[in-house]
Amino acid sequence: MSHLNYDHVIAPMLRSLKNLDAIVTKAEEYVAADKHLEANTILQARLYPNMLPFIPQIRILTDTAKGAAARLSGQPVPSWPDDETTFAQVHERIAKAITYLSGFKPADFDGAETRSIELKMGPELAKFTGSAYIANFVLPNFYFHLTTAFNILRHNGVVIGKWDYLGKP
């Protein structure tokens, strides 16, 4: 049986979450080294006034990851509180997502491409097949928020680059 749903969705999100955790550590170190910078300045930073700050970017990308794993495997989506305010809590949220995704096996996603998935998006109910959900929501949404979180840190002076984002080969 092909495990493309796991190999092309869950495994890369796991890798990206681990890379993100290392990036958040670099942001912490950056704040600790600058005696005039408060952690909250980075944690609440945004790229533009009408964009979400760093912490909500983390919440959305972890929600996207856990939601994808749950929906594509036919499991209920776990509910996590959105109450992070510190670097330690951001690490905990990322770790919770890594642990959750790590609990799945490739076979859990067999047949996911044809699974019927419904997702409440604001007042609308979006209906997808598993394949459409992956291609049109999960991957674009996850990487949008991952990239935005990365760019917020980079914009605020954290010394990170492409290999931090991608991870070493």
Full set of structural domains in the chain with CATH: 4-107+128-166 (1.20.120.450)
For the record, the structure tokens of 107 come out as 């076979």
The pLDDT tens digits of the residues spanning 58-95 come to: 999 999 999 999 999 999 999 999 999 999 999 999 99
For the record, the structure tokens of 82 come out as 């959105």
| Rounded Cα distance, 142 and 147, in Å | 9
What confidence category does residue 25 fall into, taking pLDDT thresholds of 50, 70 and 90? very high
CB atoms within 10 A of CB 100: 18
pTM: 0.96
| Rounded Cα distance, 78 and 100, in Å | 9
